[in-house]
Amino acid sequence: MSNRADQPCFVLDQQAVSFEEGETLLAAANRAGHHIPHLCWHPRLGQSGACRLCTVKVDGRLVAACTTRATPDAQVENRSAELDGKRRMLLQMLFVEGNHFCPGCEKSGDCLLQATAYEMGMTGPKFEEFYPLRPVDASHPDMWLELNRCILCKLCVRASHEVDGKDVFAIGGHGVGVQLLVNSASGKLGDSSFSAGDFAASVCPVGAILPKRRGFAVPIGERRFDRAPISEQGEQRDGGSDDDGD
């Protein structure tokens, strides 16, 4: 994308990126077609900084690109061996803290966590897996909630609050017991106001919130990140997959 002469720019890995007043580094970079790794950011939602995967160096200082506003002439380092090494460490911790069995997951090939791990060159977990005992909630007629895959990115929490106006989800618990909670008397998704048409139903970057009866409508091998690496693709603006089946 070309930069207008009247727009301020920052420098991202030796490339000039223009930005609008008040725009964050990540939003501006994404709009310009540059990939900064992230899991908890979406262009329709407010700032979070939950996963820290988008950490970059600005004039030598580590900051979260999703919460840091762009400033003129800032020197931003993104894809360096040091930063990608830190990202691999974060990804490895996310994988071992949950139960992520990619070969058997309906979201495989369209999963932001999986695609980012490939992009960062992660070949396996560095730490011992926790294998937590987490429930699968199939109480909703159209959607199911697989907490084994949840990475606590808060996207569904923010989407339900900011866009849907329902506050279906929340984060609760302490330490290793922190988990996604459902706002209903029973704690079940089927007893909440959640709907398959909610923005929160399509915003999950992993396979924690999925539609029923559609998991393999698009065959593995033909899905979004099967076709091209994540760094070659822009953020999906509608909140969901570009495939009908996931």
Closest to 219 measured CA to CA, from 106, 121, 125: 106
Whether this prediction's pTM lies above 0.85 is answered by yes
- Within the chain, strands assigned E span 9-12, 15-18, 55-58, 61-64, 75-77, 136-137, 143-146, 169-172, 179-182, 209-211
* Top-level class of domain 83-212: alpha beta
Question: Is pLDDT of 38 > 50?
Answer: yes
In order of 70, 117, 119, 209, the CA distances from 95 in angstroms are 31, 10, 15, 17
Q: In this predicted model, what pLDDT tens digit does every residue of 203-241 receive, in sequence order?
A: 999 999 999 999 899 998 999 999 999 999 866 534 444
The answer to whether residues 17 and 11 touch, using CB atoms and an 8 Å cutoff, is yes
Task: Measure the CA–CA gap between 126 and 3, rounded to whole angstroms.
Answer: 41
Give the domain ranges of the chain.
9-79, 83-212
Q: What is the pLDDT of residue 124?
A: 87
More confident residue, 156 or 2: 156
pLDDT tens digits for range 68-122:
999 999 999 999 999 999 999 999 999 999 999 999 999 999 999 999 999 999 9
CATH topology for 9-79 is: Ubiquitin-like (UB roll) (3.10.20)
Write down the mean pLDDT value for the chain.
Answer: 92
